[in-house]
Amino acid sequence: MDLTVEWGQVHALLGENGAGKSTLMNVVYGLSRPDSGEIVFDGNPVSIGSPQDAIKLGIGMVHQHFMLIPPLSVAENVILGNEIATGPGIVDIRSAEAKVAELSKKYGLEVDPAARVEDLSVGLQQRVEILKALYRGARLLILDEPTAVLTPQEARGLFDIVRTLVKDGAAVIFITHKLGEVMDVADQITVMRRGKVEATTSPKESNPADLARLMVGRSVLLRVDKSEAKPGAVLLEVKGLTVYDDRHQVAVNDMSLEVRAGEILGIAGVEGNGQNELVEAIVGLRTPRSGSIILGGRDITQASTHSTLEAGLGFIPADRQRMGIVLELPIADNLVLSRFDRKPFASWIVRSFSAVREYALKLIKTFDIRAESPDQPSGSLSGGNQQKLVVAREIGTQPKVLLASQPTRGVDVGSIEFIHRRLVEERDNGMGVLLVSSELDEVLSLADRLAVVYRGRVVAMLDQKEADRDRVGLLMAGAA
């Protein structure tokens, strides 16, 4: 494939999960070696054998999953490997903090140089990654799925930073599969499909529907197509639930809600208003201070996660790498992670590897997981295919209630359409779905009923017909 990027421009690299976007950029950054072809940088043919070579040329890369050391400060992370020393083995932290503060101010990347990285939000950690690249003199900045873990507000802040960088003469390669972002921030767009360039265009010459078709190879439905819900009996009941966060502050404040069979209940709210703590309490990862959680008539308030899953809860976690899969295990083992010791996958202490493999092949095909074989390590899959693996496993257990937390985070339009369609299908088959998403459009288009949360409380319960974007936005901001 051929790709030309110009100075002073944002060049979006758009494609499905597994289209080869990150692999191509890993070649440019020296993490992978090309088998043929050449790279010309600033008019000169170059050989990039390692990230050090790329950094010397002025190429920086911010990876989808950050490469930071949590216990170190912002300044220590930024200068790591390029320390300012006052003598042998003595690092001048004050000078480093001053330099980082100067860079922060110049590019609008406000972050405290002395703060510990582990205490920062995901959006601020991303700023630290960008500062790391700029500190090393990056003129070409590669951002790999930079908004996959950001709130809409943080994403807008990132776009402002990107525009500042290109005004200063730098070039930015923006790897993404979010069509709205491409239309917002890009000057040029290259669409990739299955390792090849499908088209090079610009936001003025295209629209989201055209780009989606180029990415996936067919027309994609950008809105959820579903019939009216036919709710049945209450499957999950949360009554007067109060949950504390890690700082022992009230995160969920006397919350009550019900999920019925055959409906999708969406939770809308700005991240940090108790959604994570609510999810953890339902799954059994956090003990509530008061209130109760009833699943299928069984009290699971104090139950372990294992008992909760056995009682009929399916759980798609927000962080697939930390809580969704074991990266080192093969795809097949990850697909039976919660049932590996039960029939037909095991009989007493003897595992049936043929049954596991057969089941894995079926789910790989059904959920279109792009993999070479079920024996491939799950960590070698692209981010979106890892997400599809988690969704396949949880829907495959046929739970009573599916708790889907950020189910399409970091997933391309074709996969989003597929996951949405599967959630609606399961709803139509009588499953109850509790959807927690920071994407307001996703909640508005998927949910049959909407619970708007603010500071740990449900401030409004709306039917889909009465949930318009402006009204929900005001409620999310506390204008109840």
428 part of a folded domain:
yes
Residues 205 and 240 in one domain: no
147 part of a folded domain:
yes
Token output for 335: 């697909």
Range of the domain at 432: 234-476
Confidence at residue 152, expressed as pLDDT on a 0 to 100 scale: 63
Token output for 186: 């890009």
Residues 169 and 246 in one domain: no
d(CA 388, CA 404) in angstroms, rounded, equals 12
Residues 70 and 139 in one domain: yes
Per-residue exposure over 389-428, b if at least 16 CB sit within 10 Å of its own CB, e if not:
bbbbbbbbbebbbbbbbbbbbbbbbbbbbbbbebbbebbe
78 part of a folded domain:
yes
Confidence at residue 222, expressed as pLDDT on a 0 to 100 scale: 59
Residues 406 and 269 in one domain: yes
Confidence at residue 293, expressed as pLDDT on a 0 to 100 scale: 96
Confidence at residue 150, expressed as pLDDT on a 0 to 100 scale: 64
Confidence at residue 118, expressed as pLDDT on a 0 to 100 scale: 84
345 part of a folded domain:
yes
Evaluate whether 238 touches 295 at the Cβ level (below 8 Å).
Answer: no
Confidence at residue 3, expressed as pLDDT on a 0 to 100 scale: 93
Instruction: Write down the H helix ranges in 370-454.
Output: 383-396, 413-428, 440-446
Residues 408 and 334 in one domain: yes
**Where is 127: in which H helix or E strand?**
helix 122-135
d(CA 311, CA 297) in angstroms, rounded, equals 10
Phi, psi of 436 (to 5 degrees): -115, 115
Confidence at residue 151, expressed as pLDDT on a 0 to 100 scale: 59
d(CA 224, CA 381) in angstroms, rounded, equals 27
**Domain end position, chosen among 216, 246, 267:** 216
Residues 413 and 472 in one domain: yes
Give the CATH number of the domain where residue 45 resides.
3.40.50.300
Residues 199 and 285 in one domain: no
Position 306, amino acid: H
Confidence at residue 417, expressed as pLDDT on a 0 to 100 scale: 84
2 part of a folded domain:
no
Query: In the chain, how many domains are there?
Result: 2
**Domain end position, chosen among 160, 186, 216:** 216
d(CA 44, CA 169) in angstroms, rounded, equals 19
DSSP letters spanning 154-223: HHHHHHHHHHHHHHTT-EEEEEE--HHHHHHH-SEEEEEETTEEEEEE-GGG--HHHHHHHHHSS---SS
Confidence at residue 358, expressed as pLDDT on a 0 to 100 scale: 94
Per-residue pLDDT of the chain (480 residues; tens, 9 = 90+): 899 999 999 999 988 777 888 889 999 999 999 999 999 998 999 999 998 899 899 998 888 777 889 899 999 988 888 777 777 777 788 888 898 898 888 877 788 888 888 888 777 888 888 888 888 888 999 988 887 666 566 678 888 888 988 998 999 999 887 788 888 899 999 999 888 998 999 999 988 888 888 887 776 665 677 888 899 999 999 999 999 988 888 999 999 999 999 999 999 987 778 999 999 999 999 999 999 999 999 999 999 999 999 999 999 998 888 889 999 999 999 999 888 888 889 888 888 899 999 999 999 999 888 888 999 999 888 777 898 999 999 999 999 999 999 898 777 777 888 899 899 999 999 999 999 987 788 899 899 999 999 989 999 999 988 888 778 878 887 776
225 part of a folded domain:
no
